[in-house]
Amino acid sequence: MPETPLTQTASQTASQTASQTVRGACPHDCPDSCAMITTVENGRATRVQGDPDHPFTAGFLCTKVNRYLERTYHPDRLLHPMRRVGQKGEGKFERVSWDEALGDIATRLLGIASGPHGPQAILPYSYAGTMGLLQGESMDRRFFHALGASQLDRTICSTAGAWGMRMTVGASIGADAEGIPSSDLVLLWGTNTLTANPHLWPFVRQARERGARVLCIDPVRTRTADQCDEWIPIRPGTDGALALAIMHVLFAEGLQDDDYLARHTLGSDQLRSRVGDYSPEVAAPITGLSADRIRSLAREYGRAKAAFIRINYGLQRHGGGAMAVRTIACLPAVTGHWRRPGGGIQLSTSGNFGFNVGALGRPDLSPPVRTINMIRLGDALTLPDAGVGGPPVQALVVYNSNPAAVAPDRNRVLAGMRRDDLFTVVLEHFQTDTADYADYVLPATTQLEHWDVMRAYGHLYATLNRPAIAPLGECKPNTQIFRDLAARMALKDPCFADDDDTLLRQALTTTDPKMATVTYDTLMEAGWARLNLPTPHVPYAEGGFPTPSGKCEFYSERMAQMGLDPLPNFTPPHEFPERVPELAAKYPLTLISSPRHQFLNTTFVNIASLRRDSEPEVALHANDAAMRGIADGVRVNVFNDRGAFSAVARVGDGVRPGVAWAPSIWWAKLTGDGHNANETTSQRLTDMGAGPVFYDNLVEVAPAE
Ligand SMILES: Nc1nc2c(c(=O)[nH]1)N[C@H]1C(S)=C(S)[C@@H](COP(=O)(O)OP(=O)(O)OC[C@H]3O[C@@H](n4cnc5c(=O)[nH]c(N)nc54)[C@H](O)[C@@H]3O)O[C@H]1N2
Ligand SMILES: Nc1nc2c(c(=O)[nH]1)N[C@H]1C(S)=C(S)[C@@H](COP(=O)(O)OP(=O)(O)OC[C@H]3O[C@@H](n4cnc5c(=O)[nH]c(N)nc54)[C@H](O)[C@@H]3O)O[C@H]1N2
Ligand SMILES: [Mo]
């Protein structure tokens, strides 16, 4: 029996008893998707905690989400619709009624849709501010589809890696983290586990207690690297070369699994000849690691029985990111580690979840329209044909995202958002950098105030989110805001009448066998459910790769057809010093602006207990700092031809030489100078998946005047 029937509103739920606990789900963009329990007393949430019974959450929440109540009840929460009265970017707004806001927004959007450029002049902009399927991929999508708006290609995070995995193993389906305790070697490769995926760590610890070694491959000595047996300080963007050299050694020293290769892979002879060119001596100057170190790593990997490679999205934010992921993903098939629990590679598990996203988003409602890549927002707003052909963008509707801080080439983005002839609507919890450029800001509910259901990308459990409290102020769920807008704009399809309960049922209408255990009833009863898979799930023990050939594809016919190298290779970054020596002479440091431990992208940056009194920082190697006359703690400028930001220098041995690390992503308006690291990043794309290259970014650092 459900704890409380879904038809009850959140306010009824909360007022029924003086104190109760409500099962929910952390909404944030993180592999861990925690099951969260909220204590509610007299209608007010008083505590959040991790579900102790959930195998992955294991009873704890991270540093950030432990502050979810401070965020929810923050004095700066947007509680009413607001209309801009100052200049764009100035942040001056006045309170208006929902009626006025929705009426005016509907009139403006209808005017644009029926104007000379048609509805494609309207661009939605959203990402994973909440990963909830209802608040992020349902009514909103229906609304823009039915309107005939331009489509958004949601590339800002993971598409390069997703393509890399797809080409080699076939899908975003990797090894199960719950197998890690059986691993005898764990490689944390391009991931800051303790920050970005902290609920993986207890499994790593168990493996270690049973004798496994844990290695971290990262240009930055992160807090994760500090906890590992070894830090392998690779040069940014060169992981493909390292993987090729490892395979060179595996084949040269007979450490491959010939039986697995013969039965479950395609193109092993071609792979063998390709990696023949990549001895450790060849890879050493590329990767910045010694040939001896590469060889011993390869031997350790080859002699392990069930090595677990956890790659994450950090290493694919370079021009060759997709090829790097594809190449690394070959390793467990060469050694046959896929056979055993704890062996294999994981980038994402999201491909296991068969929610009915088509029923939720209704792409069938859309006429054929153009697609705009979200990381090219700067171009889309400033070029007459949006950079892709067709009409200019005249209206931008932003929700679940903060593009004025997170999108690359920030100066271009702001130039676009400042346009007087651009109509901008932002659905938000807070007055973010982006909201400052809005014509209207609409107050949205948080996860404690609305229904949702979540998949995960780091484990195999689906989670239901029940509202714990009534919406604060006049806040509404995204679903309701788009329902209301659809009604105002006379969008007639009956699907706009679906309530959140109906949406939830639609999301779960599927015949996918993995979803057999994830039903409306199981979620209502337990709050979460494991996919219909054994624990641990060993996906490719007997092959069965979801590629066209059914094998692990070292040779990819699909890549050949796309005009790409069909074999694993090393694709250097766009801004690889050897490739662009003149640029590197001017801007010799590679800037990595990966997440700061206490922030979740830009979410939580405005929470005082998490930001503390800190400022943006940039870590430099002592040699690089000395060359520039930079002492620890001084203020510096970080810059290139795209832009600049200032930070406090942290000098030491926490990064490899040639690398600068600026923990991110700051709200620009909460830094001292109004800038952030994305002033320096570019709108260039990855080799496959048209993803961003945030860490493929040459800069110079100099003492501030
Ligand atoms: N606390 C916290 N957790 C988060 C997030 C957050 O902002 N804060 N963001 C969430 C989101 S949206 C995502 S996508 C994930 C991201 O989580 P991760 O995939 O772990 O990604 P990053 O932290 O971007 O990068 C991880 C590490 O990759 C390193 N790196 C950069 N370039 C290279 C390279 O070329 N090779 C190698 N080997 N390493 C490289 C960086 O130095 C960094 O330490 O985390 C999620 N979890
Ligand atoms: N330089 C640099 N840039 C990066 C990255 C990096 O590592 N370095 N990482 C990139 C990556 S991996 C990602 S995923 C993107 C992330 O970029 P975004 O997806 O834009 O993530 P956030 O900055 O967390 O912004 C999410 C916003 O959604 C809002 N929100 C949350 N829930 C709701 C809701 O229910 N309704 C509404 N209306 N709003 C809601 C939050 O208040 C927040 O302001 O950034 C990318 N940008
Ligand atoms: Mo991300």
First to last CA, the chain: 66
| Mean of per-residue pLDDT scores for the chain | 96
Task: Give bridge partners of residue 701 from the DSSP assignment.
Answer: 638
- Take residue 72 and report the two structure tokens written for it: 């929810």
Ion ligand 3: residues, CB within 5 A, are: 157
CA angle 118, 120, 125 (to 5 degrees): 140
- Assign residue 492 a region (left: φ > 0; alpha: ψ between -120 and 50; beta: otherwise): alpha
Ligand 2 binding pocket mutation candidate from 126, 401, 453 (most atoms within 8 A of CB): 401
pLDDT of amino acid 51: 98
DSSP letter for 494, please: G
Q: Is 696 in the pocket of ligand 1 (CB under 6 A)?
A: no
- Interval between CA 316 and ligand 3 midpoint (Å): 11
Report whether 440 contacts 13 (CB < 8 A). Answer: no
Integer angstrom CA distances of residue 562 from 8, 193, 697: 52, 34, 27
Ligand 1 binding pocket mutation candidate from 65, 67, 130, 195 (most atoms within 8 A of CB): 195
**239/343 Cα distance (integer angstroms):** 20
**pTM of full prediction above 0.95:** yes
Report whether 267 contacts 552 (CB < 8 A). Answer: no
pLDDT at position 126 over 50: yes
Q: What is the mean pLDDT of residues 316-323?
A: 98
Report whether 524 contacts 464 (CB < 8 A). Answer: yes
Q: Return the domain boundaries, the chain.
A: 82-157+365-452+477-499, 161-347+543-561, 581-703
pLDDT at position 681 over 80: yes
Q: What is the mean pLDDT of residues 291-313?
A: 98
CA torsion, points 285, 289, 290, 293, in degrees to nearest 10?
A: -150
pLDDT of amino acid 18: 79
pLDDT of amino acid 14: 46
pLDDT at position 15 over 90: no
- Number of residues in the chain: 705
Q: Cα–chain-centroid distance for residue 230? A: 26
Report whether 416 contacts 394 (CB < 8 A). Answer: no
User: Which strand (E) or helix (H) includes residue 135?
Assistant: helix 133-137
Q: Parallel, antiparallel, or unpaired for β 344-346 and 44-50?
A: unpaired
Ligand 2 binding pocket mutation candidate from 402, 411, 433, 599 (most atoms within 8 A of CB): 402
pLDDT of amino acid 705: 80
From the number of C-beta atoms within 10 Å of its C-beta (0-12, 13-18, 19+), residue 571 rates as buried
pLDDT in tens, 690-705: 999 999 999 999 999 8
pLDDT at position 8 over 60: no
pLDDT of amino acid 154: 98
Task: Give bridge partners of residue 187 from the DSSP assignment.
Answer: 215, 309
- Interval between CA 241 and ligand 1 midpoint (Å): 20
Q: Is 459 in the pocket of ligand 1 (CB under 6 A)?
A: no
Q: Is 234 in the pocket of ligand 1 (CB under 6 A)?
A: yes
Q: Which ligand is nearest to the CA of 374?
A: 2
Ligand 2 pocket, CB under 6 A: 29, 127-130, 135, 156-157, 313, 399-402, 406, 427-430, 432, 444, 478, 593-595, 600-603, 664-665, 677-678, 681, 694
The 3-class secondary structure across 552-584, one letter per residue, is EECCCHHHHHCCCCCCCCCCCCCCCCCCCHHHH
- Interval between CA 81 and ligand 1 midpoint (Å): 35
Q: Give the CATH H-level superfamily of domain 161-347+543-561.
A: Dimethylsulfoxide Reductase, domain 2 (3.40.228.10)
pLDDT of amino acid 303: 98
- Interval between CA 254 and ligand 3 midpoint (Å): 38
Phi–psi pair at 699, nearest 5 degrees: -140, 170
pLDDT in tens, 559-592: 999 999 999 999 999 999 999 999 999 999 999 9
CATH number belonging to domain 581-703: 2.40.40.20
pLDDT of amino acid 1: 31
pLDDT of amino acid 240: 98
pLDDT of amino acid 476: 98
Q: Comparing C-alpha atoms, which of 544, 570, 572 is closest to residue 328?
A: 570
pLDDT at position 420 over 60: yes
CA angle 635, 638, 643 (to 5 degrees): 130
Query: Is 3.40.50.740 the CATH number for 82-157+365-452+477-499?
Result: yes
- Take residue 99 and report the two structure tokens written for it: 């009626």
pLDDT of amino acid 613: 84
pLDDT of amino acid 16: 54
- Take residue 191 and report the two structure tokens written for it: 């991931």
Q: Residue 623 CB: number of other CB atoms within 10 A?
A: 12
pLDDT in tens, 634-680: 999 999 999 999 999 999 999 999 999 999 999 999 999 999 999 99
Q: Is 237 in the pocket of ligand 1 (CB under 6 A)?
A: yes
pLDDT at position 5 over 90: no
The DSSP string of 121-156 is GEEEEE-SSS--HHHHHTHHHHHHHHHTPPEEE--T
